[in-house]
Chains A and B, each alone.
Chain A
Amino acid sequence: MKNGMTLIVRVIARFVSPMIMVFGIYIILHGHLSPGGGFPGGVIIASAFVLLTLSFGKEIAYQKLKESTASVMESAGALIFLILATLGIVFGGWFFLNFLPKGEPFRLISAGFIPLCNIGIGLKVGGGIFAVFLTLILFRLLEKGEGD
């Protein structure tokens, strides 16, 4: 486990994980049109990172995406969401007002600021879930280091 799994798993994981990420981004961007949205998309993106971590071992994955980066992503996502909600007060006088033009239904650019909110939520959830995962496995790592 320390150096990851076998060659087959690594090759497949390297091949599959970009596709999983693209799928997650698709889910986030189409959140206002079809089932999905920020939360499922964020979880899917985080699961791509989890897959990489499991197949290549935690040390390598930890070098690629540090826990601090994940939690910065999380805070940034929450702030984007909050700023969008507050901009409603600036432009229309009400908190959470959908101040952007609504556009044509069933097109990608529609529904005002909801796609932007979904992006914020996706960042938050993806960062958050991956940070939780890393924190849990890193705790095991540190504990083992103490035991040896």
Chain B
Amino acid sequence: MTLIPLFMVIPLGSAFIVVLLGRFKETVSDVLATAATLMLAILPFALIIPLSQEGIFVYRMGRWIPPWGINLVLDGLSLLMLIIINLVAFLAILYSVSYMKKFTAKSTYYGLFLLMLAGMNGVVLSGDFFNLFVFLEIAAIASYALVAFGVEAEELEASFKYMVMGSVASVLILFSIGLIYSLTGSLNMAHVGTILQGQKGNLISFSMILFLAGFGLKAAIMPFHAWLPDAHPSAPAPISAMLSGVLIKALGVYAILRIFFNVFGMNIQLSWILMILGALSMVGGGLLALKQNDFKRLLAYSSISQIGLIMLGVGCGNYWGILGALFHLFNHASFKALLFLNSGAVEYSTGTRELKKMGGLSKAMPFTGATSAIGSLSISGIPPLNGFWSKLFIIMGLIYAGRYVLGVITILVSVLTLAYYLKVQRYAFFGKLGEGLEKVKEAPPLMCASMVALAIICIGAGIFFYPIMKIILEPAVRVLQEGVGYSSLVLGG
């Protein structure tokens, strides 16, 4: 219980200490950042058992009682997100220790990274709208700076685009928060939920639309996706892994789930909107990914497609759909982070991101080749890897809900996914060694270690899907299925 604020204290404190001490010696900042994220990666697992006994933790900041004071809420969904965020962050930091050597100002990089981490942890823990907005902005501003970290022309352009879109999204979210405050006179999510229950009106619908547009922009759902394929490939590889694997989920998908399920309450129109947007971005992202020749850009389009799949599963609203969507959230974080780290390793060794200039790399880089094969098979849904189970659950959910057409589309998109990942494997890793690649060496050991760890997570979550489902995913599904009952849990506790 007293551990909950540590999720903000550790990254924030270590961010500033790293910047202060990193001036003197670079290894100090390496060690500090790794130690801090390692602690954070272990911490959520310590909370699993107490949470399963209590059901929900409400942490009152400064001993102020919920509707008046600021509170942090930890329930099943938040815990799932915390596990995903901190695990991927630890492996990305481990990877950056070697990867970021070619950049200057490594301590600044760690500082920004840890600030982004603090922001994301804050978003998933905060129990009121305004703190959610503040933490979201902390994470977003750190990520704008990180995308432009290389200060090359393309990176600056991508970061500018990302920043304009992100700022517009933030303004829309703030506008909607203002509307909610003027309607209810409260900012606490649980309190707003109790006041809004059963009410209907144009202003409520308007604020829902604003939230959907704002968080949809952050999550890069299809009509709002334009910034993602530029921003994610331009960042350094560990940051791409964080952005694609975690940030769009914590800032976009999590916020949509929390606000629409637990505060406003789901209804049939909303569920159709989520399903249609999800299906649109799933198909569109997949088709656009197919014609890309840039390794990281292909992965970025694939992220749009997979986020669409998650929204589709959430939208169908029954047990299997939500379970599959949340499991896919976890799985996508693991394999997309793995694939981005692979692309970073390839770029580190060969100096190119063009798929057509590569070839035969699995002989020269055995670890990268093997882990990327696992990642590609897993994202395409080949049993017994983890992507198979989550896609199966989503399709089952769609069929139980009677949406047969969407189920068939999901299966077709799954085949499409397999097609473009086979393209990656064929051009980059199989076949004859490409020209000028004779001297390519495997990436440094720390980079390999974090890639292997992610590959093990992919295989492990596939084989042991049942315990993961029971221990981590089911509490999260229960939170979403309770719907607006969340309010009474928070205010009563």
- Taking CB atoms and an 8 Å cut-off, the chain B residues in 1-36 that contact chain A are 2, 5, 9, 12-13, 16-17, 19-20, 23
B17 touches A95 (CB 8 A): no
Chain A contacts for B17, CB-based, 8 A: 75, 79
Distance between A48 CB and nearest chain B CB, rounded to angstroms: 24
A95 touches B59 (CB 8 A): yes
Is A65 interfacial (CB-CB < 8 Å)?
no
A side interface size, CB within 8 A: 19
Is B412 interfacial (CB-CB < 8 Å)?
no
CA distance A88 to B185 in the complex (A): 29
Of the four ranges (under 10, 10 to 19, 20 to 34, 35 or more), the interface on chain B belongs to 10 to 19
Tell me which of B13, B16, B20, B63 contacts A94 (CB under 8 A).
B63
Is A103 interfacial (CB-CB < 8 Å)?
no
Q: Is the interface of A mostly helix, strand, loop or mixed?
A: helix
Is B403 interfacial (CB-CB < 8 Å)?
no
B19 touches A89 (CB 8 A): no
Chain A contacts for B19, CB-based, 8 A: 71, 75
Tell me which of B5, B20, B59, B63 contacts A75 (CB under 8 A).
B20
Is A92 interfacial (CB-CB < 8 Å)?
yes
B2 touches A93 (CB 8 A): yes
Chain B contacts for A78, CB-based, 8 A: 12, 16
Chain A contacts for B12, CB-based, 8 A: 78, 82
A72 touches B62 (CB 8 A): no
Is B60 interfacial (CB-CB < 8 Å)?
yes
A97 touches B16 (CB 8 A): no
Chain B contacts for A92, CB-based, 8 A: 63
Closest A residue, CB atoms, query B4: A95
CA distance A12 to B430 in the complex (A): 73
Is A17 interfacial (CB-CB < 8 Å)?
no
B2 touches A98 (CB 8 A): no
Chain A contacts for B63, CB-based, 8 A: 92, 94, 97
Is B42 interfacial (CB-CB < 8 Å)?
no
Closest A residue, CB atoms, query B60: A94
Distance between A101 CB and nearest chain B CB, rounded to angstroms: 15
A82 touches B2 (CB 8 A): no
Is A96 interfacial (CB-CB < 8 Å)?
yes
Closest A residue, CB atoms, query B70: A96
Given A86-B9, A89-B2, A89-B5, the answer on whether A96 and B16 have CB atoms closer than 8 Å is: no
Given A78-B12, A79-B16, A82-B12, the answer on whether A68 and B62 have CB atoms closer than 8 Å is: no
Distance between A91 CB and nearest chain B CB, rounded to angstroms: 12
Is B61 interfacial (CB-CB < 8 Å)?
yes
Distance between A76 CB and nearest chain B CB, rounded to angstroms: 8
A95 touches B5 (CB 8 A): yes
Closest A residue, CB atoms, query B9: A86
Distance between B89 CB and nearest chain A CB, rounded to angstroms: 19
CA distance A68 to B2 in the complex (A): 36
Given A86-B9, A89-B2, A93-B2, the answer on whether A75 and B62 have CB atoms closer than 8 Å is: no
Closest B residue, CB atoms, query A97: B62
Given A71-B19, A78-B16, the answer on whether A98 and B62 have CB atoms closer than 8 Å is: yes
A79 touches B13 (CB 8 A): yes
A68 touches B23 (CB 8 A): yes
Chain A contacts for B70, CB-based, 8 A: 96
Closest A residue, CB atoms, query B61: A96
- Taking CB atoms and an 8 Å cut-off, the chain A residues in 106-139 that contact chain B are none
CA distance A79 to B12 in the complex (A): 9
Residues of B within 8 A of A (CB): 2, 5, 9, 12-13, 16-17, 19-20, 23, 59-63, 70
Nearest 9 CB-CB pairings of A with B: A95-B5, A96-B62, A75-B16, A96-B61, A94-B63, A75-B20, A78-B16, A97-B62, A79-B16
Instruction: Give 20 A-B contacts (CB < 8 Å), ordered by A residue.
Output: A68-B23, A75-B19, A78-B12, A78-B16, A79-B13, A79-B16, A79-B20, A82-B9, A82-B12, A82-B16, A86-B5, A89-B2, A89-B5, A92-B63, A94-B61, A94-B63, A95-B62, A96-B61, A97-B62, A97-B63
